[in-house]
Amino acid sequence: MTDDAPVLLHTDGHVRRITLNRPRVLNALDHASVRALDAALVAAEYDDTVTAVVVSGAGTRGLCAGGDIRALHDDARAGGAASLDFWRDEYRLNARIHRYRKPYVAYMDGIVMGGGVGISAHGSVRIVTERSRVAMPETAIGFVPDVGGTYLLSRAPGGLGTHLALTGRSVGAADALLCGLADHHVRTENLPALTAALAGCTTPADVTRTVRDHATVPEAGELDAARDWIDSCYTADTVGGVVDRLRDHGAPAAKETAETLLTLSPTALAVTLAAVRRARAARSLEEALDQDFRVSTRAFAHPDFVEGVRARIVDKDYAPRWAPARTEDVRETDVAGYFAPLGARELGLAPGRA
């Protein structure tokens, strides 16, 4: 495998190391990356010499910044469908990671966003560091949390998951642990020693014990102290109701959050709120991924996605023109349409569920 391959493979003892290898774009996922990662996991799962896989990102900035947003933007702008094919394979990869039969150790070091959460937080051994910044930031570009992010966030304590889904804010190690997005904290400088120790593990129990031996307590996070206003404000039935409660609560951080929400796509916010609440009732990750595919397909075709990427990433004027521009103008019937079955285009990961 060449050094410019999208995914690099290396075997250390009983560990198969899988490295996302697009550091110039912070290891953003494209279709080639997804296919290569999936193939590597299949090979390792059926290799009796491999006890565990360790997934990390090349470079120094992070594991993965998510999908290749510019490519998705260009495809949407051109009226293409390549992005839907990409998501179909990406979501299947997320499901494979979730049900992987061997320890799947994800180094969530540095930036881990969007699709980066999908290829890490569904794993069985999720490690954050003091450098971790974990987020599902899709609403900032007029899109919605996907890759099973709605499933993960719907299971966070109280209103924390809804808060993170709507605002798209990033969290550090302690808050990632609190929200159930990670399992252990290991300092960045100690990851090489952990990798070397994992190479000698011959059973899954050895892997668990070795990770725990290297884990430490992270510095305190921010969310636990904010539970009062977060838990009370995010129980509202609508985005408008959430904003009103945030404005009226009295906590300065709550008011600031309300102002942040008012800058984001009203449609994306309404669909995201509905998606997280529907994901709570999902009986499996696969069922939630089927929902995410329906929603992503519709969000991809909505003008707010192209406009959001233009404003934040392409032109960087940070002045998106949302359609509609106001939360109160988003119709319930339009939101419901995002969740309608796709017929023959369904992802179909959860058998028997339309």
Cβ within 8 Å of residue 250, ≥6 positions away: none
What confidence score (pLDDT) does residue 352 get? 62
Residues with a known catalytic role: 67, 115, 138, 146
Q: Is the pLDDT of residue 1 over 90?
A: no
pLDDT one-digit tens code per residue, 291-310: 999 999 999 999 999 999 99
CA distance 184 to 193: 15
| Each residue's pLDDT tens digit, 91-139 | 999 999 999 999 999 999 999 999 999 999 999 999 999 999 999 999 9
Position 354 scores a pLDDT of 40
Amino acid (1-letter code) at residue 66: G
Q: State yes or no: pLDDT of 257 exceeds 50.
A: yes
For residue 152, is pLDDT > 80? yes
DSSP character string of 242-304: HHHHHHHH--HHHHHHHHHHTTS-HHHHHHHHHHHHHHHT-SSHHHHHHHHHHHHHHHHHSHH
**Tokens of residue 275, six digits:** 């998606």
Q: What is the model's pLDDT at position 143?
A: 97
- pLDDT at residue number 2: 58
Q: In sequence order, what DSSP letters do the residues of 199-238 get, joined into one string?
A: TT--SHHHHHHHHHHH--PPPP-STGGGHHHHHHHTTSSS
Virtual torsion, Cα 119, 16, 186, 220, nearest 10 deg: 10
pLDDT in tens, 128-143: 999 999 999 999 999 9
pLDDT at 10: 97
Average pLDDT over residues 251-275: 98
Q: Residue 351 — very low, low, confident or very high, per pLDDT cuts 50/70/90?
A: confident
Task: Give the separation between CA 221 and CA 121, rounded to whole angstroms.
Answer: 18
- Read off the pLDDT of residues 154-174 as tens digits, 9 standing for 90 and up: 999 999 999 999 999 999 999
pLDDT at 91: 98
Average confidence (pLDDT) over 206-231: 97
Provide the pLDDT confidence category of residue 353 given band limits of 50, 70 and 90: very low
Once rounded to an integer, what is the mean pLDDT over residues 185-189?
Answer: 98
192: DSSP letter: H
Amino acid residing at 35: R
Q: Give per-residue burial for 253-268: e unless 16+ CB within 10 Å, then b.
A: ebeebbebbeebbbbb
**Tokens in use for 259?**
């102002």
What pLDDT was estimated at residue 97? 98
Q: Burial-class residue 157 by CB neighbours within 10 Å (0-12, 13-18, 19+).
A: middle
What is the pLDDT at residue 319? 96
Q: What is the model's pLDDT at position 316?
A: 96
**Assigned token pair, 200:** 């000698």
